[in-house]
Structure 1
Amino acid sequence: MLDNVAFGLVARGEPKAEAAKARDWIKTVSLDGYEIATPDTLSGGMKQRVGLARALATDTEVILMDEAFSALDPLIGADMQDLLLDLQKRMSKTIVFVTHDLAEASRRGDTIAIMKNGEIVQVGAPADILAHPADDYVARLVQVQTR
């Protein structure tokens, strides 16, 4: 797992010794002690933590999380989202979190964008979107997902 977390660092040419900072990220996502674990020995939530540590280790300004927690059970998914948001606040990173769940987006995002057919149809604070849908599509989405 350590090599997996360090992959982005090594790929961009950082010396192997420099890639050791991957260990810090493994600890940050509560996987210390699993550095030599293989993917088949990790749970789904642990695998998601490995991916998160790998993304954070490269110290990019923007992190894209595309349906990152949709395959996890709801409690583990919520825990992972909370961990991600806590890290985001501490590190001041921009995280683009893609989801098809409007309730999840409303709980987790300070700004959300609603897309239809690859086009953004509304951007705003969750409360504003819920209270003032921009068009019929957003109004139907809000109605269906807030039942």
Structure 2
Amino acid sequence: MIHIRIGTKEDKCRSCYGILYDEDGDLFRSDATSFWTGILDGPTNIKGHTKSEVMNSYQARVLDANAEYKPVCNIKLEPFGSPSYFDVARKITTFLQKGRNQGSSPERVLTGLPKFLMKMGHVKILFENGNEPHPVPHRDLDEIVRKIPSLSWAF
């Protein structure tokens, strides 16, 4: 199970900062990945870190009271196969960058992320756009997501 958290910032790039990590195991020995994507005008940056480094960065950038990013997405992904955190992070950043041509805010681009991730595995949404979702059985969630109209630029 991969835990994915994302925060956004309304800067020139309308950037997203995210982390991917495993909740099990030793916090100081487990590997994790963080990424930064400038949706409108910026490069991508994906790096591997220890889980404690990732959580410290996320705490400072997203969770602290005066953090520059605001949390918008907290998801658990049980991927099909065995992709690395780095591979999943790279796919997420590619997806996010496709929103550039639309001139959308990061939050708007992120609304399609759960549907995109469902193609990679089973998704449990813990927090989205500042709200905890109502508990929905996985089958029902799959059905709800299938009814969301696709945006041609998002996939």
More helix by share: 1
Query: Which structure's CA Rg is the greater one?
Result: 1
TM-score range, shorter chain: 0.3 to 0.5
More strand by share: 2
By relative contact order (CA 8 Å, sep 6+), the higher-ranking structure is 2
Which TM-score applies when normalising by structure 2? 0.31
Which TM-score applies when normalising by structure 1? 0.32
